Amino acid sequence: MNKPVNLIPPVVKSVRVARAQADAFRLYTEGLGQWWPLKTHSIGGEKAKTAVMEPRKGGRLYEVWHDGSINPYGEVLVWDPPHRVVHSWHVGHPPNESSEVELRFVAISSRETRVELEHRNWESMSGDKAAEARERYNNGWVTVFIKSFGNFAGIAEG
């Protein structure tokens, strides 16, 4: 069986943070609820209490509302601490229209890490939804990944 061709380019972002590789990995994954900007990027808006990534392959990504409701974001597909995590992503879409997010944590020094994000597989969405979603996330990851995570983790100089 042939691998599907990605016709829509991935969203690619990176940020350098003043954290050791393992610390940056832990903060992004297990600490998701500490830095994720729920007020501006959530399913539930005011209802949202926290965001969670279960730290293992097969773990869930989800939003928890104040009433205890669980609202899925995706599932961890690859768990390779402190180097890499890959997860599906279907916020606002059915699970069969999941895109995929890969994060790579590259040690620059013992106290600095480059975190690289690639959001891909837009073709799982039907019609014009794929290109529209890709464009929204191209802008959205600047707020979520660069500004929120980067600032929380400590954007490094240079």
Using one digit for the tens of pLDDT, what is the confidence trace for 92-114?
888 999 999 999 999 999 999 99
What's CA 105's distance to the chain center, in Å? Answer: 13
Residue 93: the pLDDT is 84
pLDDT at 47: 97
Q: Report pLDDT for 156.
A: 79
Nearest to 133 by CA among 145, 143, 120, 144: 120
User: With respect to CATH, is domain 13-37+76-153 assigned 3.30.530.20?
Assistant: yes
Residue 100 tokens read as 């995929």
The residue ranges of every structural domain in the chain are 13-37+76-153
Quote the percentage of the chain above a pLDDT of 70. Answer: 95
Q: Which residues of 60-84 are buried (b: 16+ CB within 10 A; e: fewer)?
A: ebbbbbeeeeeeebbbbbebeebee
Q: How confident is the model at residue 60 (pLDDT cuts 50, 70, 90)?
A: very high
Is 128 a residue whose pLDDT tops 90? no
